[in-house]
Every structure is written in structure tokens, then in C-alpha cells.
Amino acid sequence: MNIRRFTLIFTPYFWLIALFLIPFIIVFKISLSDPALAIPPYTPNFDLSGGWSAIGTFFSQLDFENYEFLLTDDLYWKSYLTSIKIAFFSTVFTLIVAFPIAYGIAKAPLHLRPMLMMLIILPFWTSFLIRVYSWIGILANEGILNNFLLWIGIIDQPLRLINTNIAVYIGIVYTYLPFMILPIYANLEKMDSSLIEAAEDLGCSRIGAFWSITLPMAKSGIVAGCMLVFIPAIGEFVIPSLLGGSSTNMIGKVLWGEFFSNRDWPVASSVAVVLLAILMIPIILFQRHQQKENMNE
Amino acid sequence: MTQAKQTTNVFSPWLNRDNKPLIKFENITKKFGDFTAVENFNLEIYEKEFFALLGSSGGGKSTVLRMLAGFEQPTSGKIWLDGEEISNTPPNERPINMMFQSYALFPHLNVWDNIAFGLKRTKKRMASSDIKARVEEMLRLTQLEKFASRKPHQISGGQRQRVALARSLAREPRLLLLDEPLGALDKKLRQETQFELMDIQEKTGTTFVIVTHDQEEAMTMASRVAVMDNGKLLQVDTPNNVYEAPNSTYVANFIGDINIIEGEAKIDAEGLLSIHYSETAAPIQTENTNNQIHDGQSVSFAVRPEKIWIAKEQDVSLPNNVKGLIVDIAYLGNLSIYHIKLESGQVISAQMTNILRTGQQEFTWDDEVWLNWNDTAGIVLTR
């Protein structure tokens, strides 16, 4: 095998090994350790200088008690459930908002499409953190939205939006909207418009043609978009901590608390490993779906 | 007696004034913004016809088809189907189906479901056993039984074309529209499919309206041909009449090859027509079939290459004899096309069938030859 081919093939593997596998092994190892008042704050530490016997004691000190602990305290599994619930509903809301936008862009005149796409991508030019912060200004009791609603007289008391789950949903939908729009748009855009005409010709109403042709044809885009929103939304930390209240216990927040407030790295690591395991399920389902799609093409 | 029998045998419902047309276009105009796609269009299509709309691209023929399907509404005028106005009826409420140029097969459905698609959406709900029977009948008709469970991307172009046909015929439409149905097929397959289409049309008794830019296709399949250009209908007639008696130089040029010689018409005392096209050459003698030609009018004389006879010697028994020089020969196997430059400067093309298999071709480059043709060989056109 020549050097060129080897480099080409090995580079992505190197990337995965260096930036995913090794860090994961370290995290997994920490999750099997016990907390300690030391630097780093866990024990045992891997030490080659002690010879074979030291390595043996090292492995004998690793155990699964942190995982058992996650089961005893309901904070953890409740947070996982909350995260899944919030991620699920935000995905649904994002889909509801994104589909008409993607459809509208795909049906827009050809010369307008690049500009509309640009507008979708434009928010990425500003830091994600700043955009989430600005939602505080919008949703606060004295914020823009409440002031506006009070001014036009729809409400006479400010709505409590900030520090609620509603604010978290708004934040996630807003942040992940482009990830939903882009794959759906890519799907709808390459759809042959004569398919809709054919459906109408064969007896479908406009709405009937949408349900029996447009939607099934956009399925792979919808699935891809949902995965792109659902997976990062489960582990989301910034949005619930900035916009959510103390009652919004998403697993990202719990993990952060274990790491930085409790300085309990082993428990934090085990929370992270379990989260990864949970995320594997949709990722595997997604992969399977993609594979099936590819087989069909 | 024999005469009467003959006329009933030949399918020509348009000749009988008592016949009601299936489709009637009445002063149809269609505009897209400032652009007039179809202008003052009048046409009647009869039941069981295989009707071809022929024209170059952008001539308005697709717009006519799309108005029939219901995808476009006429800007003014009326479209009638069976005596009922359908100008603004949505496509799903017309008993008309269309076979799309791109076939528009639903990629997520297999062949069976593609064909059943329209049957599941009829106004009067069809029983699933009836749907099954109908789909199977369609699969048989188009010889697709083996491919029923395949997806569109798993079959060949020719098979896709047949699925599209089966799908559009499944609902037993009063009228089937075919938009360039053979455009995506290669030449050999196209010729086979032409005969298949004619066969299916005859078996099902459906009225077909086909849009094509391929004049051979239109001539082969159609009972009548409508030639369109720039949104206007130029001529509607049988393939034979459109070929032998075109009503304009555009139609003459569009259908097949033709020589057009421009000149001045002269009508002598006996009513015989001659066309003077050159100061030195003898005028062309031709039959006067067009009564509207008057003496001194400038006209075009059109004659098909196969109606000109090339000879080494002058043939005085024929009224037209012109001397020329062979400048080009195209050997096509079954026939050869000769380009002959007349002494007056015009280049005329003439065709000779290659009857002899062996031996030298009779004529070669730079031969001096005589072109002879009868006084009924050509036609005089005024526009």
C-alpha cells in the first residue's frame, strides 16, 4: 500500500481515535473510579512505574458503583426523562415551524432562493451564546415581548416566560431551526414538480397530493432534520441554564453541576457515559434509515 | 356501392359534419404575462382519434396540452369536453389523464402502487378487488407483470415509459394526453414503442392527444396532425394531406424535406399556371390547384425531392425539364440524396432509390443531369 492511500484512509481514523476514542476511554475510566480530594479529584490513577502488581491493583479498584448510584437517586433518571421529553417536543415544534419555511423556500422563484437560504444561515454569524442571551432580553418580565403585548393590550399582566420550560422550548426551536430547514429544503428542492401535477391528474386534491406525494418524498429530509435537532437537544446545557428555571433539570445541567459544583468527576463521567448510551439509540436508528435509503437509490 | 363502403372503412370522423367532437377549443388564447403562448386557437378532436400536436419547441403545443389537462387555465375562450365546458375545471375532476414527458412516476411507490394510485382516488370508491383486477389488466396490457413490485428506479427507461402509460390509462380516461411520450427513448426503442402505442390505443379505444416535435413520430401514429408555430394553428389534416398538400411554406419545411422555388405566377388564357423563377430558365409548369392565385402574384413552388426524377437525358414527355450539375451526394443506403445546382443558381435536392445492389451508382459528382418532374409533382403556396 502506498503512503498516499494510507494517509488518506488513516486520517479520519486517526481523528476518531485521537478525538473520540481516547477521550471516551479516559471518561469511562474516570466513571469507574472513586472521588478523592486530590488533583485529579479521583482515584486510582494509572501508574506504570509500580510494575505489574500496581497495574493489577489499579484494575481491582475500578468498579461500577457510580452507575449503581445513578439508579438510587431519582434526580438522575428524572433528568434523563426530562431531557428526552424536552428534546422530543422541541424536535416536533421545530419540525412544525421548519417545514413550511423549507417548503416556501423550495417553491420560491429560483433567483430568490439563495437569498432566502442566506437569511436562514445568517444567524450563525453571531455567537450562539449571544443569541441565547438576547432571548433573555426578549422573554424577560420587563422584556420586549411582554412590553409589546402589554402595549397593544392583549394582556394586562406580564407573562412569566423566562425561567420556564416554555423559554427552553423557544430557545431550542430557535437555535436548531436551520438544522431542520436545511435537510428538508434539500429534499423538497430536488422534487420534480410534475409529480404533484401527476398526483392531481390522477384524482388527488391539492391537499391530497401534499399528503400522498410531497410528505413521503420529504421523509428522509425530515428524519435527518429530526436527528440533527433531537440528538444535540438532549445534551443541551446552555439553553436550559440561561433560559430555563431551577425546575428545568436537563441532564446537561446535572452533569455540569456534578463536575463543577460537586467536583464529583466519577459521577459526572458516569452521567456522561449513560447519556452517550442513550444517544446511541437514535443514532443507530438514523444510520439504519440512511442505509435503507441508500439501498433504495 | 364500393365507393360508400370505402369511406366507412377509413377512420375519418372529422369529415362528417353530424359527428360531435369530443374536445372543442373555442377561440382559446393563453397569455403568460406579456407573452402570448397560444393565440385564438380553434380545434375539434373526435372520439377514438390519435391526434398529434406537432411543432417546434416553444410553439405552444405543450400549453395546449396543459390546458386540456387542467394545469393551465385559458386567458380567454372555452374548452368543451363532450359538450360540457371544462375550461376552469381542476385537473382531478376531469376525465382526462396525462402521461408526462418525465413520466413523473412516484419514486417511493412500486410499479403496482403507481398504477393503482389513480384507482384509489376515484370519485366513486372502487372495491379493492376491482382495483386489483384493473391493475393486473394494465400490467398485462403493458407487459409489466414481472415488474409489479419493483420501484421505478429499478426498471429500464422503456419499462418506466410503459408504467407511465399504464398508470394514465388505468382510470379509463375519456382522453389520454401524451407529452413527448417517446422523447427519452433511444431510436430503436422509439420505433418499436410507436407501434405498441398504436396497438394499445386501438385495443382500449381511448382518444389520444400526443404532443411531439418529431414529425416522423406524428406521421407514423396520428390519424390527424395539427402543426403549430408561435402559438398559432397552421394546419390540421391527415398525415398524408399535411405532407402532400401543406398550406404554407412553414408546414412544408417542417414536415420532411422540400425544395422551395420562389417566383411569379402567370396564368395563361387556358387557365394553365406557370411559375417564372429565373430570366434564363423555362418557367415551371404546374397544376393550378389553388384558385386564389392571380396573374402576376409572387408565389412559392414547393416540390418534394422524391418527386423529382434525375436523368442523363432530357425527357420531353414530362412538362418540366431543367439542366443542372450534381454538387453533393448523400448515400443513405436505401436511397441517395443528390444536390443539383441549376443553371439559374438554385440548388435542388432530389432523391433516387438505390434499386441495384451492385455496380456503379448511375450518377456522380459534377455530372450534368436533367431534372424532370410532372405538373402534379409540386404545390404552389402563397404564404
Give residue-wise pLDDT tens across range A36-82. Answer: 888 888 888 877 777 788 888 888 888 899 999 999 988 899 999 99
- Pick from B203, B186, B95: which is nearest to B143 by CA? B203
H or E element: which one contains B54? strand B50-55
* Shortest Cα distance, chain B CAs vs residue A218, angstroms: 10
Question: How far apart are alpha carbons B38 and B30 in whole angstroms?
Answer: 5
Q: What pLDDT digit, counting tens, does each position of B271-304 carry? A: 778 889 888 888 888 887 767 788 888 999 999 9
Provide the CATH number for the domain formed by B2-251 in this structure.
Answer: 3.40.50.300
* Shortest Cα distance, chain A CAs vs residue B163, angstroms: 13
Q: Does B73 touch chain A (CB under 8 A)?
A: no
Q: Which stretches of chain A sit within 8 Å of chain B by CB?
A: 192, 194-195, 197-205, 208, 212-213, 216-217, 219, 296-297
Chain B residues whose CB is inside 8 A of the A199 CB are 106, 117
H or E element: which one contains B95? none
Question: How far apart are alpha carbons A132 and A243 in whole angstroms?
Answer: 8
* Shortest Cα distance, chain B CAs vs residue A111, angstroms: 18
Task: Determine the pLDDT at residue B6.
Answer: 42
Question: How far apart are alpha carbons A259 and A262 in whole angstroms?
Answer: 6
Point out the least confidently predicted range of A10-19, B193-202, B284-293, B298-307.
Answer: B284-293
Q: Does B167 touch chain A (CB under 8 A)?
A: yes
Report ipTM for this prediction: 0.82
- Which CATH architecture does the domain made up of A81-245 adopt? Orthogonal Bundle (1.10)
Query: Is the separation of the CB atoms in B98 and B181 below 8 Å?
Result: no
Q: Given an 8 Å threshold on Cβ–Cβ distance, is A202 in contact with B97? A: yes
Task: Determine the pLDDT at residue B383.
Answer: 78
Question: How far apart are alpha carbons B351 and B335 in whole angstroms?
Answer: 7
The domain spans of chain A are 81-245
Task: Determine the pLDDT at residue B148.
Answer: 94
Point out the least confidently predicted range of A227-231, B86-90, B188-192, B325-329.
Answer: B188-192
All 3 cell numbers of residue B230? 408561435
**Residue in B with minimal Cα distance to A198:** B104
- Pick from B197, B169, B201, B203: which is nearest to B181 by CA? B197
- Pick from B123, B238, B218, B224: which is nearest to B178 by CA? B218
Task: Mark out the alpha helices in chain A (DSSP H runs).
Answer: 3-16, 22-31, 51-60, 65-72, 74-107, 113-121, 128-139, 144-152, 165-189, 193-201, 206-209, 215-217, 219-234, 238-243, 251-256, 265-296
Q: Given an 8 Å threshold on Cβ–Cβ distance, is A202 in contact with B106? A: no
CB atoms within 10 A of CB B351: 18
* CA angle in degrees (0–180, nearest 5) for A288-A292-A296: 170
If pLDDT is split at 50, 70 and 90, which confidence band does B345 have? confident
Task: Determine the pLDDT at residue A289.
Answer: 81
Q: What pLDDT digit, counting tens, does each position of A267-280 carry? A: 999 999 999 998 88
Q: Does domain B257-381 have CATH number 3.30.420.40?
A: no
Task: Determine the pLDDT at residue A296.
Answer: 64
* Cis bond before residue A44 (omega within 30° of 0): yes
Query: Is the separation of the CB atoms in B315 and B306 below 8 Å?
Result: no
Q: What pLDDT digit, counting tens, does each position of A195-210 carry? A: 999 999 999 999 999 9
Query: Is the separation of the CB atoms in B44 and B24 below 8 Å?
Result: yes
Tell me the average pLDDT of chain B: 89
Task: Determine the pLDDT at residue B24.
Answer: 94
Chain B residues whose CB is inside 8 A of the A217 CB are 107-108
pLDDT reading at B4 higher than 80: no
Question: How far apart are alpha carbons B356 and B375 in whole angstroms?
Answer: 28
* Shortest Cα distance, chain B CAs vs residue A226, angstroms: 20
Task: Determine the pLDDT at residue A297.
Answer: 58
Point out the least confidently predicted range of A246-250, B159-163, B244-248, B298-302.
Answer: A246-250
pLDDT reading at B7 higher than 50: no
If pLDDT is split at 50, 70 and 90, which confidence band does A1 have? low
Find the length of chain A: 297
Q: Given an 8 Å threshold on Cβ–Cβ distance, is A195 in contact with B117? A: no
Beta-bridge mates of residue B30 = B38
Q: Give the mean pLDDT of B36-53.
A: 94
Chain A residues whose CB is inside 8 A of the B107 CB are 217
Compute the Cα dihedral for A137, A138, A142, A144 and give only its sign.
positive
If pLDDT is split at 50, 70 and 90, which confidence band does B360 have? low
Q: Given an 8 Å threshold on Cβ–Cβ distance, is B171 in contact with A217? A: no
Q: Give the mean pLDDT of A118-126.
A: 91
Q: Which residues of A115-154 are buried (b: 16+ CB within 10 A; e: fewer)?
A: ebbeebeeeeeeeeeeebeebeebbbeebebbeeeeeeee
Q: Given an 8 Å threshold on Cβ–Cβ distance, is B171 in contact with A200? A: no
pLDDT reading at B228 higher than 90: yes
User: Based on the number of CB atoms within 10 Å of its own CB, is B68 exposed (0-12), middle (13-18) or buried (19 or more)?
Assistant: buried
Question: How far apart are alpha carbons A74 and A43 in whole angstroms?
Answer: 26
Q: What pLDDT digit, counting tens, does each position of A220-264 carry? A: 899 999 999 999 999 899 999 999 888 788 999 899 999 999 889
Query: Is the separation of the CB atoms in A194 and B91 below 8 Å?
Result: no
Q: Given an 8 Å threshold on Cβ–Cβ distance, is B171 in contact with A216? A: no
DSSP reduced 3-state for B168: helix
pLDDT reading at B2 higher than 50: no
Which residue type does B246 have? P
Indicate which of A201, A215, A223, A295 best probes the interface with B, i.e. most B CBs within 10 Å of its own CB.
Answer: A201
Query: Is the separation of the CB atoms in A176 and A228 below 8 Å?
Result: yes
Q: Give the mean pLDDT of B144-166.
A: 94
Chain B residues whose CB is inside 8 A of the A212 CB are 117
Q: Give the mean pLDDT of B363-372.
A: 89
Q: Given an 8 Å threshold on Cβ–Cβ distance, is A200 in contact with B91? A: yes
Q: Which residues of B225-238 are buried (b: 16+ CB within 10 A; e: fewer)?
A: bbbbbebbbbbbbb
Residues 6+ positions from B34 with CB-CB distance below 8 Å: none
CB atoms within 10 A of CB B294: 9
Chain B residues whose CB is inside 8 A of the A201 CB are 69-70, 91-92, 96-98, 118, 168
The domain spans of chain B are 2-251, 257-381
**Residue in A with minimal Cα distance to B69:** A201
Question: From residue B181, how far is each of A143, B3, B101, B213, B251 by CA, in Å?
Answer: 62, 37, 6, 11, 22
Indicate which of B65, B73, B100, B171 best probes the interface with A, i.e. most A CBs within 10 Å of its own CB.
Answer: B100
